[in-house]
C-alpha cells in the first residue's frame, strides 16, 4: 500500500477511507476535499472526481467532520490554535486547509466557530524530480538563486524539497552546501514531533512553526547557510527577508504562486524582488512538476548548461 | 501459652491500627501524585505539546487516566462518556471525581485559554482534596498509635 494510503485511511471517515482504498496505489491523487453534507471531491493530476453516496447522498456528515478534526489534531485543539487561525493545520507534512465560519474580534481572528470543509493535500517525496532543473541552476557547482513559479498544486514544494536535498548532499555535480530552511507550515520538513520527516539532506537546518520571514532572519544570522530555502513568498516581510539574505551573500531557493512573470509583477512584494534582480533564475512550472521555461533576472529565456 | 496469646493479641491490635491507618493515608499519596502530574501536564501543554505528548513524562496516575480519556475518544465514545470513564478512575473522593469529570469533558476541543482555566480549576479541587487527605493522614497516625497503645494496655492488664 502506498504511503499516503497508510497515512490517511486510519484518520478519515469510514466511507471516505473505503473509497480511497479502492483507488489504485499509483493513482495520481493530489487532494482530498471533504465538505459537510456534500459529496467527496478527489483531485487528480489533470482531473477531478466527485463521489456521491447511494442515491446521491452526501459522503461526509457534520459529526464525521468534527471527529476527523479531532483525530487530525491528536484530540488537542489547543495545540493547533495558531495554525487554525491561519486556516490550516499540518499533519505529517501535509497541509490540511480548513473552511467554515470564522470568529473575528477587535484583536483579529479568533478562530473557527464551525469547520464545514477540509482540504487535504497529499504530499509525496519525489527524489530526483529536481534533476532536470539543475543544468539551469548550477554555475561551477554552486547554485544560483531561483524562484519557482506555478499555479497552486503543480509541485513547487516537492521540487523545492528535492533541490534542498541535492544542494545539501552535493549531488549531481553540485558542491555540498549548508541549507537553512524557513518552514513556517512544516510542509518542507514534514513535522515528526519536532524532527525532520522528509529527506532534506545531511547539511540542512530547519526552523519551523514561526513566520517564514522571522525564521529566515534567524537562519541567516545564526546558522550561516550557503542557501536559504523558503516556500511560498507572500508579503513584504518575506520579500525583505529574501533581500536581506541575498545582500549577505546567501543564495535563495523560493517558490511563489503565479502563472507567469506577468502575474508575479501584479504582486508588489514579489514584483519588487524581480525588479531588483534578486533571483538569477525564474523557473515556470505547468501541470504537476512540468518545467515550461527558465528565465534569467531580466526575463530572458536561458538554456541548460551541462556541468 | 499465655505469653504467646498475649503476644498475638498485641500483634493483632497493632496490625489493625496499621491497616486502618494505611487505608486513610492512601488517598494523600495518590492526590499528591495527581497534582504533580497536572503541573507537568500544564507545563508541557503550554509549550504546545498535544494531550498524549504532554502526559508522557507525567506521573503514572495522571497519565493512565488521560490515556483512558484519549482511548475512549479514539474508539468513538462521546465526550461525556470518555470523561466519565477517565474520572471514574479517580477513586479519591466524590469531589475529586466530579472535578476530574469537569476537567475532561470536552478537553479535546478546548482552546488554550479554556485548557488553562480547566487546569487551574482542577488544580484547586486537588489542592482542597490534599488538605482533606492530610487531615485523614493525621487520623491514620492516631489510629496506628491507638492500635499500639490498646495492644500494650491489654498485654499489661493480662499479664
> Would you state the pLDDT for residue B20?
64
Of A191 and A115, which is predicted with more confidence?
A115
Which of B44, B108, B119 should we substitute to test contact with A (largest number of A Cβ atoms within 10 Å)?
A: B108
Yes or no, beta carbons of B52 and A74 under 8 Å apart: yes
Please tell me whether residue A283 adopts helix, strand or coil conformation: strand
Tell me the nearest-neighbour CA distance from B30 into chain A, angstroms. Answer: 26
Q: Which of A12-26, A120-134, A137-151, B43-57 has the lowest mean pLDDT?
A: B43-57
> Would you state the pLDDT for residue A27?
86
CA distance A139 to A122: 33
> Would you state the pLDDT for residue A195?
75
Residue closest to A52 by CA, chosen among A16, A17, A28? A16
pLDDT of A213 above 80? yes
CA distance B17 to B153: 14
What is the CB neighbour count within 10 angstroms for residue A227?
A: 24
Which of A14, A69, A70, A78 should we substitute to test contact with B (largest number of B Cβ atoms within 10 Å)?
A: A78
CA distance A89 to A118: 10
At A234, give phi and psi (nearest 5°).
-120, -55
> Would you state the pLDDT for residue B59?
62
Nearest by CB to residue B110, choosing from A78, A111, A193, is A78
CA distance B47 to A279: 37
Nearest by CB to residue B108, choosing from A75, A81, A193, is A75
pLDDT tens digits for A78-90? 888 888 888 888 8
Q: Which 8-state DSSP code applies to residue A197?
A: -
Q: Which long-range contacts (CB under 8 A, 24 or more apart) does B113-118 make?
A: B114/A78, B115/A78, B115/B45, B116/B42, B116/B46
Q: How confident is the model at residue A193 (pLDDT cuts 50, 70, 90)?
A: low
Looking at the complex, does the CB of residue B45 fall below 8 Å from at least one CB of chain A? Answer: yes
Yes or no, beta carbons of A78 and B76 under 8 Å apart: no
Rounded mean pLDDT of chain A? 89
Q: Which residue has the cell 541535492?
A: A166
Residue closest to A238 by CA, chosen among A252, A221, A222? A252
Of A99 and B136, which is predicted with more confidence?
A99
pLDDT of A98 above 90? yes
Domains of chain A: 3-121 (3.30.450), 131-296 (3.40.50.300)
> Would you state the pLDDT for residue A92?
77
pLDDT cut 90: percent of chain A above it: 52
Check: CB of residue A281 under 8 Å from CB of residue A136: yes
- Which residues partner with A255 through β-bridges? A148
pLDDT of B58 above 60? no
Q: How confident is the model at residue B6 (pLDDT cuts 50, 70, 90)?
A: confident
- What do you get for the CA distance between the two ends of chain B, in Å? 12
Chain A nearest-CA residue for B51: A76
CA distance A217 to B75: 44
Helix (H) or strand (E) holding A142: strand A142-143
Residue A89: half-sphere exposure toward Cβ, Cα within 13 Å: 22
Q: Which of A4-8, A217-221, A235-239 has the lowest mean pLDDT?
A: A4-8
- Domain map (residue ranges) of chain B: 2-158
CA distance A260 to A286: 10
Q: What is the dihedral of CA B29, B35, B40, B46, to 10 degrees?
A: 170
- What cell numbers appear for B18 in the block? 496499621
Q: How many inter-chain contacts (A to B, CB under 8 Å) are there? A: 43
Residue closest to A198 by CA, chosen among A25, A29, A20, A7? A7
Looking at the complex, does the CB of residue B93 fall below 8 Å from at least one CB of chain A? Answer: no
pLDDT cut 70: percent of chain A above it: 97
Cβ neighbours of B107 in A, within 8 Å: 75
pLDDT tens digits for B89-139? 776 678 888 899 999 999 998 988 999 999 999 999 999 988 988 887 777
DSSP per residue, B40-59: HHHHHHHTT--HHHHHTTS-
CA distance B123 to B40: 12
> Would you state the pLDDT for residue B63?
85
pLDDT tens digits for A4-51? 888 888 999 999 999 999 998 888 898 999 999 999 999 988 789 999
Amino acid at each position: 500500500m502506498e504511503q499516503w494510503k497508510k497515512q490517511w485511511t486510519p484518520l478519515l471517515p469510514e466511507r471516505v477511507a473505503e473509497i480511497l482504498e479502492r483507488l489504485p496505489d499509483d493513482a495520481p491523487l493530489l487532494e482530498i476535499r471533504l465538505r459537510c453534507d456534500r459529496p467527496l471531491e478527489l483531485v487528480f493530476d489533470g482531473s477531478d472526481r466527485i463521489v456521491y453516496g447511494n442515491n446521491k447522498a452526501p459522503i461526509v456528515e457534520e459529526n464525521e467532520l468534527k471527529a476527523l478534526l479531532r483525530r487530525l489534531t491528536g484530540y488537542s485543539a489547543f495545540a493547533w490554535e495558531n495554525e487554525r487561525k491561519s486556516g490550516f493545520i499540518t499533519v505529517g507534512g501535509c497541509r490540511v486547509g480548513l473552511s467554515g465560519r470564522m470568529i473575528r474580534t477587535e484583536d483579529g481572528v479568533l478562530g473557527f466557530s464551525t469547520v464545514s470543509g477540509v482540504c487535504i493535500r497529499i504530499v509525496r517525496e519525489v527524489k530526483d524530480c529536481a534533476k532536470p532543473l539543475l543544468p539551469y541552476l548550477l554555475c561551477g557547482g554552486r547554485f544560483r538563486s531561483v524562484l519557482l513559479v506555478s499555479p497552486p498544486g503543480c509541485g513547487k514544494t516537492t521540487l523545492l524539497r528535492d533541490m534542498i536535498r541535492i544542494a545539501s548532499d552535493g549531488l549531481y555535480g553540485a558542491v555540498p552546501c549548508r541549507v537553512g530552511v524557513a518552514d513556517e507550515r512544516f510542509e518542507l520538513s514534514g513535522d515528526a514531533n519536532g524532527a525532520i520527516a522528509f529527506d532534506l539532506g545531511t547539511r540542512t537546518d530547519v526552523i519551523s512553526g514561526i513566520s517564514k520571514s522571522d525564521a529566515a532572519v534567524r537562519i541567516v544570522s545564526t546558522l550561516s547557510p550557503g542557501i536559504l530555502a523558503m516556500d511560498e513568498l507572500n508579503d513584504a516581510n518575506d520579500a525583505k527577508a529574501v533581500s536581506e539574505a541575498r545582500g549577505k551573500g546567501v543564495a535563495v531557493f523560493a517558490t511563489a504562486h503565479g502563472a507567469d512573470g506577468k502575474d508575479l509583477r501584479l504582486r508588489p512584494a514579489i514584483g519588487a524582488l524581480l525588479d531588483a534582480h534578486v533571483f538569477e533564475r525564474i523557473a515556470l512550472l505547468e501541470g504537476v512538476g512540468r518545467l515550461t521555461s527558465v528565465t534569467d533576472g531580466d526575463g530572458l529565456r536561458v538554456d541548460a548548461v551541462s556541468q | 501459652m499465655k505469653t504467646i496469646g498475649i503476644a498475638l493479641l498485641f500483634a493483632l491490635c497493632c496490625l489493625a491500627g496499621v491497616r486502618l491507618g494505611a487505608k486513610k493515608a492512601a488517598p494523600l499519596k495518590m492526590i499528591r501524585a495527581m497534582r504533580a502530574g497536572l503541573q507537568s501536564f500544564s507545563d508541557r501543554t503550554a509549550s504546545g505539546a498535544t494531550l498524549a505528548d504532554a502526559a508522557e513524562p507525567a506521573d503514572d496516575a495522571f497519565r493512565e487516566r488521560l490515556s483512558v480519556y484519549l482511548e475512549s475518544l479514539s474508539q468513538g465514545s462521546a465526550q461525556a462518556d470518555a470523561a466519565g470513564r477517565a474520572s471514574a478512575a479517580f477513586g479519591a473522593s466524590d469531589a475529586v471525581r466530579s472535578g476530574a469529570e469537569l476537567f475532561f469533558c470536552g478537553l479535546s476541543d478546548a482552546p488554550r485559554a479554556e485548557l488553562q482555566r480547566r487546569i487551574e480549576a482542577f488544580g484547586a479541587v486537588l489542592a482542597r482534596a490534599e488538605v482533606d487527605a492530610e487531615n485523614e493522614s493525621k487520623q491514620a497516625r492516631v489510629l496506628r498509635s491507638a492500635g499500639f497503645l490498646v495492644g500494650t494496655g491489654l498485654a499489661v492488664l493480662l499479664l
